[in-house]
Structure 1
Amino acid sequence: MINKIFIGIKSIPYYILGNILAACTYDKKYLKGKYFSGKFRGLGKIGWRWVVSDCLSRIIFGINRGVPFPVSPKISISNPRNIHFHVDDLNNFQGFGNYYQAAGGGNIIIGKGCWIAPNVGLITTNHDIKNPSKHAQAKDIKLGENCWIGMNSVILPGVTIGPNTTVGAGSVVTKSYPEGFCVIAGNPAKVIKRL
């Protein structure tokens, strides 16, 4: 009981500062859900720490300005308005090394309950192989519900991954697996196990 009280008291500065900073930085729809709500209006929830960390890096270093939700300064996001996810999956933007590139009009759609490990790249467009100074046409990336994308994986433009799919660490996913319920791995990734 004493430990819970100590954690609650220690969280008060994050809660207060987080609420002040969030009011002028984020779209309010992202400040709901399991990382911000709970007893005492979410006091002690980790979401407020994410807000403080993110806002300080935006103010001091200009990192990830314009992103309408809290994101780690160690993650790169392009065209955040084209990234769609459930607010309870905000944890996918709090790690390090991830690259969410929703450029050229392409969308990244992340199904509810997905887990995305560090150093994962989701890219909606590549450079044109005939002229690297230009980009190829963008294509959406869609992840079904309850997927697990392993560390150092890359999901290429136009890929759809069905629900309950695990992508092995270090994989390069070049084609779609919309049926889901499988484990895919390798370069290029292929099904190695059905669930």
Structure 2
Amino acid sequence: MNDLKTQIYPRSGDKETIYLKPIISNPNISIGDFSMYNDFINDPRLFEKNNVLYQYPINHDKLIIGKFCSIACGAKFIFNSANHTMSSLSTYPFPIFYEEWELDRKDVSNAWDNKGDIVIGSDVWIGYEAVILSGVTIGDGAIIGARAVVTKDVPPYTIIGGIPAKPLKKRFQEAVISSLLKIEWWNWPKEKITQNISAIQSGNIKELERLSSFNNFDSDSI
């Protein structure tokens, strides 16, 4: 069995697709098991440098990504330090240039508005060159369209797209979404997922409910 702590490449001969968890060194970035990133332009192992932007240590803001997420080439996570404060009468970042303006170095973060962490649920698909801004939470099972700019929270199992990104539709009926959020199949042991991939891929919600020892779904189809 492969060691998820050290295995970088999920597929033999494919150096463009990686599991993210083993290559992360920044303590303010947390990646769940099996979440992967594909990059056909740059080395995907440079994810922290090329895709996680303006995450300066002084801000202590975090990127949290759940399990089984799929992140396409060029997706960007833009953190608080990219902002210029809107509460000032000027957007010029004077506190950053504290030496020039004889300001206190400890007040550097006053140059921008702090909107919080970026939190991505599990089983989220983030499309090509999508941009996720600071303070955004994306729910489990959501899909972010290619080149979308996400400025607001995204509910679970919602497809969004555009600039700024807006909801396009729900992936499933509400009853199915409710069941999936209770089942949380991504938290099952690997052996259990392996044995039931066909049920997951075929949309067999009743089988997943049976495996999770509850049944609250009464429709015949997704």
Q: After TM superposition, is the score higher than 0.5?
A: yes
Alignment length, in residue pairs?
134
Match of 2:51 among 77, 99, 102: 99
- Amino acid in the other structure paired with 1:135: W
- Amino acid in the other structure paired with 1:175: K
- Amino acid in the other structure paired with 2:5: Y
Unpaired runs of 5+ in structure 2? 43-49, 86-90, 97-110, 172-222
Identical-pair percentage: 29
Q: What's the counterpart of residue 23 of structure 2?
A: 70
Q: What's the counterpart of residue 111 of structure 1?
A: 66
Cα distance in 1, alignment partners of residues 130 and 121 from structure 2: 16
Q: What is the root-mean-square deviation of aligned Cα atoms in Å?
A: 3.2
Cα distance in 2, alignment partners of residues 33 and 95 from structure 1: 16
2:117, 2:134 within 8 Å by CA — same for their partners in 1? yes
Q: CA deviation at 1:165?
A: 0.5
Match of 1:88 among 20, 34, 42: 34
Cα distance in 2, alignment partners of residues 189 and 159 from structure 1: 12
Q: CA deviation at 1:32?
A: 5.0
2:33, 2:68 within 8 Å by CA — same for their partners in 1? no
* Alignment of structure 1 residues 5-84 onto 2, 5 Å: 30-31=5-6, 35=10, 69-70=22-23, 80-84=26-30
Q: CA 1:29/1:169 → structure 2, altered by over 3 Å: closer, same or farther?
A: closer
Cα distance in 1, alignment partners of residues 120 and 140 from structure 2: 7
Q: CA 1:99/1:182 → structure 2, altered by over 3 Å: closer, same or farther?
A: same
TM-score under structure 2 length normalisation: 0.51
- Amino acid in the other structure paired with 2:165: A
Q: CA 1:33/1:124 → structure 2, altered by over 3 Å: closer, same or farther?
A: same
Q: For residue 88 of structure 1, give the secondary structure of its aligned residue in structure 2.
A: coil
1:168, 1:183 within 8 Å by CA — same for their partners in 2? yes
Q: For residue 80 of structure 1, give the secondary structure of its aligned residue in structure 2.
A: coil
Q: CA 1:93/1:82 → structure 2, altered by over 3 Å: closer, same or farther?
A: farther
Match of 1:123 among 59, 70, 78: 78
Q: CA 1:180/1:96 → structure 2, altered by over 3 Å: closer, same or farther?
A: farther
Q: Which runs of 4+ in 1 moved over 6 A?
A: none
1:183, 1:193 within 8 Å by CA — same for their partners in 2? yes
Q: For residue 81 of structure 1, give the secondary structure of its aligned residue in structure 2.
A: coil
Q: What's the counterpart of residue 133 of structure 2?
A: 156
Q: CA 1:87/1:156 → structure 2, altered by over 3 Å: closer, same or farther?
A: same
Cα distance in 2, alignment partners of residues 94 and 70 from structure 1: 14
Greater Rg over alpha carbons, structure: 2
TM-score under structure 1 length normalisation: 0.57
How far does the alpha carbon of each residue in 1:126-176 deviate from its partner, in whole angstroms, 9 at most, with x for none? 231412453332620011110110111100000000011100001000011
2:39, 2:72 within 8 Å by CA — same for their partners in 1? no
* Alignment of structure 1 residues 169-188 onto 2, 5 Å: 169-177=146-154, 179-188=155-164
2:150, 2:164 within 8 Å by CA — same for their partners in 1? yes
2:122, 2:140 within 8 Å by CA — same for their partners in 1? yes
Cα distance in 1, alignment partners of residues 51 and 9 from structure 2: 24
Cα distance in 2, alignment partners of residues 83 and 182 from structure 1: 24
